[in-house]
Structure formats: C-alpha cells, structure tokens
Amino acid sequence: MTKHIFMTGGVVSSIGKGLTSASIGMLLEARGLKVRMQKLDPYINVDPGTMSPYQHGEVYVLDDGSETDLDLGHYERFTHSPLTRDCNYTTGQIYLSVIEKERKGLFLGKTVQVIPHITDEIKSVIKKVGEQDVDVVITEIGGTVGDIESLPFLEAIRQYPLIAGKENCLFIHLTLVPYLKAAGELKTKPTQHSVGQLRQIGIQPDILICRSEKPISRDEREKIALFCNLAPQAVIEERDKDFSIYEVPLSLVSNGLDEIIVKRLGLTTQSPNLEPINEVLHRLRNPKHEISIAVVGKYAEHKDAYKSIYESLDHAGIHHHAQIRIGRIQSADIENEGPECLLSGYDGILVPGGFGERGVEGKVQAIRYARERGVPFFGICLGMQCAVIEFGRNVIGLQRAHSSEFDKNTTDPVICLLDEQRKVTQVGGTMRLGSQQASLHPDSRSILAYGTSEIAERHRHRYEFNNQYRPRFEAHGMRIAGSSPDGKLVEIVELPDHPWFVAVQFHPEFKSKPTKAHPLFAGFIEAAIERHLRLVSKSTDPSAEPANY
Ligand code: GLN
C-alpha cells in the first residue's frame, strides 16, 4: 500500500516547503524507500511557463517537456523521484480538466461543484502518482494555510485518508517560529494560529516542523505541542542554515524527523545511508580552490530567476573541490558601464537563457569580452544565441547580425524562428520543449566533457541557429559541436581556439545534481580553475606564461 505524506505551510510564504519536502524525500530514499514527489500549486495559471520570473522565479522544465514550478528542481536535485507532468498541477489545470469533462457531458448534467468535482479531480491526480511502483508519495501544497486559493487542495487532502486509509497518510505542517528581538524570545503564537486554521478545516497535523533562526527550547516545544495537540517529539526544529541548503536534510535527521515519519507510517526500513550528502558537505566545507563566476542575465537581481544555474555552478564546484563565488550581473548595466568595469576579475562568464530584448546588447558585449580575453565562457539557450550574434557581428563582420526575436527586419537573421514554430499562435506550452537527442562532434570540448557522442538534454526555445549561415560561421572558426541527430538543428557551438568557449541551445542546468555535476558545468568550472591558477602563478612568478591566450 502506497503511503502519502502531505506537506502544508503556515504563517508566511517562502518558508522553504519545497526544500523541506525535497529533504524528506532524500531521507526516505536514504532508508531505501522509493519516493515520488508532487507539487500542487494554488494559482490559477494553466501554463506556469508563461509566468514572469519576477513573480515565480525560474520555470523548471522536465524531460517530458512540462514547464513547472521551481520546487520541482529541488525535488530532482535531492531525490531520484522520476518527475512528469503529473507531478505538478495548478488550480487552473485542475479546473480546466473538470470543465473539459463537463463540456464532454461526463457529469450527466449534474451541477458541477468544488466539492465533490474539483476535490475528486485533485484526489485523482494524487492517486495517479501513487499508483506507480512507489513506497511513499510526498505531495506539497503550495501557498500558505489561510489563503482562499488553497482551500480546495486542503479539502482534498483532508478527504484523502478516507480513500487511502488513515494509517497510510501523514500530515506535516511547516511553520515559522519568529524571534522577536525586542522581547528577546521566540514567539509560538503564529504557529498556534496556523495549526488552529488547519484544524478548522479538519486536518490535524501529525508532525510540525518549525523554522526558526534560534534554537527552540524544550519548554517551547512542549508549549507548541500542547497547543497544537501533538506529542513533543512530533515538534521538529528546522533551524535556518546560512552555509548551504544541503545542511537541511542532515539537521532534520539529527532532530529525529525521518525516524518519526517511518514510525508513524508503519514502515520498516534500513537506517539511513547519509554518506553521499555528508560527502557533499565535506567538500563544500573544505574547498581547495576559490573562484568567481559572473552570471550575466536580465533578472540578475532576482535570486530565484536562475536558480538551477546557480545550483549547477555549485555542483561543479563540489565536483572540483572549489568554492564558487557567483557575481550576479545585470546585463543592462554592462550596456551603461561597459564589460571591463563589471567583468574584470572573474574566472568565468556565463550567459543564461532568457526572453525579450532588454539587456541583450549587454550580453553580447559580455560575450565579446570573454571571447577576446580568453575568459572561459558558457552560453545557455539565449546565451548561445547571443554568442552566435556576437560572432556574426564582430568576427564575420555581419554588422546587423541579430535574432529575428529582437529585430524582425534584420538583414542578417543569424538566429531565426524554428520552422515548427511558424504556425504557433498561442504562447502557453508551445515552445520546443523537453528532452531531445543531440549528436556531438568527435573533436569537441563537449564530447570530452560528456564522454559519449549521443546525449539527451532538455529544451525550451522558439528560435534557432539559422542554417543558411552555417558555412560562413564554420569558415571563420566556429565549430558546430553538437546538432540534432538529423543534423538540422544546431545544438552546441564552440570556439576551438579559445581556452573554453561552449554555448548550448539546451538547458543543462536542469540535469545537474550535488552528487553528480553536469559534465558541461564541470568542464566550465575546470577551465575557470585553470585560468585562476594561471593568473595566480603569473602574479607571483613574472616569468610564467601569459594569462590570456
Ligand atoms: N528566447 C529564445 C528562444 O525562444 C531563448 C529561449 C531561452 O533562453 N530559454 O529561442
């Protein structure tokens, strides 16, 4: 019988439910259990892919091409749970499905209502994930208890034990226990209110996880337990972790969370194997190198807009025992202040994906700087397209080289709309999405990094390298290092004469893990470390070879 864990959050948003859910997934896997992760988002949008990164951070893309909430990135990085379209639903998608059924006449003319029709639909999407070969499904409910929008989801999970059996369901509630400086103490009242609201709906949490910046004393835990109708050992402290998110699962273990979960669900398991996550932390705490990478993007000020990129850089750092200092550079600032001023001192430059014209010229300038100075460069999706534009303009001499996304009338559309996109009229879920195969050039940095000639990577784009320009780019020294198996779509470009210049049409950042860095990120960071060491030896030994190639 599949077990279900439902994770809700209270008091404030952004409390770390995604990370905590992912950590629980990791801990259960460490005990040898098969876990599936799922997130239900209360917002109405049907296509999370069209949401602004300012509001929701990055859009996370799965192998099957679904565009999902960034918490699914935590799930993939922390667990081995296979993720598909069924692992992320929004209120809008649930309603759309119910409305489509109603229009097909499946409700036989009955009045369609939130209870039972919407709640039944929600229960069916939870059930579907639990039907596969799995021991535990962890379903995270987005939003905060008390929001009007999340009520149908909460009602559905309240009903869930009625179909799955009470003994197979566990409710975990994550709250904040704030520290009031003026009073010099932790405050438990918001947690009491939040649990009170849950109990009004009919959900009694089995476990309470309390986020807090200070240690929660035994007395405070007992007080929370009493008010919230729980045993004191079911009140688990989750202290803020400043050093690394990978500390979270270990701190939950030391507070007994995994122990109480398996006990309450009646699961017999091995004791947790925490070796891999301990090794990750060991490497993070004992770096042999320290390097800095500039990420030049449109949304640099927003820490979640390039979440998976930042994580993947850290993973590559873990792989090479290097601490990575990330400089988040606003590409529009480069247009005003110049690349020299903002980029000198970095050991590598990365230009991530993106949409819209703002800051594109700054990205092009950053890439020129990296190309001319021999600074390791990694371009991703729009970053690759900008690398092609830059090379077209400054190496081949096509002054108006551009993407037709930004200049419809350019005489040199070196980046143009994909053929399959020409008839597309709707914006939601219509890009070239998900896992696609690519074949690598036998003489390329990419094949060296991957160690294989056939790869599959996740995509999310409408524009592509314009094949009409291919001969000219190749004649001027740009290598097409990867293309779709039919040879029609350019997937990777490289500059063989540069220390490390690789730009890809896909999104490698969605396939990197702390325990298994993505090969291209690992290659990029290796090149950045080499440059760093060369610069250090040059500054201490004047006879050393020049830093720039
Ligand atoms: N805007 C570009 C395109 O649609 C790049 C997309 C991206 O970077 N994800 O092709």
DSSP 126-148: HHHHHTSS-SEEEEEEPS-TT-S
Do 152 and 91 touch, CB atoms closer than 8 A?
yes
Ligand 1 centroid to residue 381 C-alpha, Å = 6
> For residue 62, which amino acid is it?
L
Cβ of 354 less than 6 Å from ligand 1: yes
Q: What is the mean pLDDT of the chain?
A: 94
Q: Mean of the pLDDT values across residues 517-534?
A: 97
- Which residue CA neighbors atom 1 of ligand 1 most closely? 355
Beta bridge partners of 67: 61
What lies within 8 Å, CB to CB, of 495 at 6+ separation is: 371, 391, 477, 478, 479, 501
Give the integer Cα–Cα distance in Å for 495 and 444: 9
Do 107 and 117 touch, CB atoms closer than 8 A?
yes
Which of 87, 169, 210, 381 is catalytic? The answer is 381
Distances (CA, A) of 217 to 44, 186, 240: 40, 9, 15
Q: Is 87 a catalytic residue?
A: no
Q: Which helix (H) or strand (E) holds 328?
A: strand 322-330
Instruction: Provide the pLDDT confidence category of residue 542 given band limits of 50, 70 and 90.
Output: low
Ligand 1 centroid to residue 59 C-alpha, Å = 12
Give the integer Cα–Cα distance in Å for 305 and 86: 24
Please classify residue 498 by burial: count the beta carbons closer than 10 Å to its beta carbon, then call 0-12 exposed, 13-18 middle and 19+ buried: buried
Which of 507, 518, 526, 532 is catalytic? The answer is 507
Beta bridge partners of 170: 5
pLDDT at 544 over 80: no
pLDDT digits (tens, 9 = 90+) for 55-68: 788 999 999 999 99
pLDDT digits (tens, 9 = 90+) for 481-516: 999 999 999 999 999 999 999 999 999 999 999 999
Ligand 1 centroid to residue 405 C-alpha, Å = 9
Cβ of 406 less than 6 Å from ligand 1: no
Q: Mean of the pLDDT values across residues 222-245?
A: 93
Strand, helix or coil for residue 516 = strand
Cβ of 405 less than 6 Å from ligand 1: yes
Strand, helix or coil for residue 173 = strand
Do 294 and 339 touch, CB atoms closer than 8 A?
no
Q: Which atom of ligand 1 is nearest to 464's Cα? A: 10
pLDDT digits (tens, 9 = 90+) for 331-355: 999 999 999 999 999 999 999 999 9
pLDDT of residue 57: 87
Give the integer Cα–Cα distance in Å for 202 and 405: 51
pTM: 0.93
Cβ of 382 less than 6 Å from ligand 1: yes
Ligand 1 centroid to residue 432 C-alpha, Å = 10
DSSP secondary structure of 422-487: TT----TT-SEEEEEEEEE-SSSHHHHHHSSSEEEEEEEESEEE-GGGHHHHHHTT-EEEEE-TTS
Instruction: Provide the pLDDT confidence category of residue 53 given band limits of 50, 70 and 90.
Output: confident
pLDDT at 541 over 70: no
- Beta strands at 35-41 and 88-90: parallel, antiparallel or unpaired: parallel
Q: How far does Cα 307 stand from its chain's mean position?
A: 5
Sign of CA dihedral 421, 422, 427, 430: negative
Q: Mean of the pLDDT values across residues 71-97?
A: 95
Instruction: Provide the pLDDT confidence category of residue 547 given band limits of 50, 70 and 90.
Output: very low
Give the integer Cα–Cα distance in Å for 284 and 271: 25
